[in-house]
Amino acid sequence: QYHEKVIDHYENPRNIGSLDKNDPTVGTGLVGAPACGDVMRLQIKVDDAGNIADVKFKTFGCGSAIASSSYITERVRGMSITDALKIKNTDIAKELCLPPVKLHCSMLAEDAIKSAIKDFRKKR
């Protein structure tokens, strides 16, 4: 009942891993979903122009959370942090054709990128 795009990102997740959280050009977002208790960590590395040069994530969340975060990492790479802040979870859910009950999983990805950008800005 899941769309093939979700299955693809779930089975071949892009950009799983970690960046050095002590690097001053790295922002780390760590967020949780109250609905299910799942957590996600997403990290960005920002270049001098304010663009996202690298991005990694890790989650213990469900298939939809893995797909949402895998998709968002591909989408934000090369993007300015200003533009990345504008990504809505509903865009992710629409792109991946997530069922309504899985909206909170895409919310986890939106929260994670926002939280990573916030952490990066705090370091500056």
Site for ligand FES in 74-103 (CB under 6 A): none
- 36 part of the interface to ligand FES, by CB under 6 A: yes
In the complex with ligand FES, which residue's Cβ is closer, 75 or 102? 102
Single-letter residue type at 103: L
In the complex with its own copies, which residue's Cβ is closer, 3 or 118? 3
Angle at 98 between CA 45 and CA 4, to 5 degrees: 85
Binding test (CB under 6 A) with ligand FES, winner from 42, 46, 52, 105? 105
Q: Is the dihedral of CA 117, 118, 121, 123 positive or negative?
A: negative
Task: Tell me the C-alpha distance between 76 and 57, whole Å.
Answer: 12
- 113 part of the interface to ligand FES, by CB under 6 A: no
Cβ pair 23, 44 in contact under 8 A: no
Task: Tell me the C-alpha distance between 43 and 52, whole Å.
Answer: 10
Site string for ligand FES, 60-79 (x = CB under 6 A): -xx-xx--------------
97: annotated active-site residue: no
Q: Which residues bind ligand FES (CB under 6 A)?
A: 33, 36, 38, 61-62, 64-65, 105, 108
- Which residues are annotated as catalytic? 36, 105
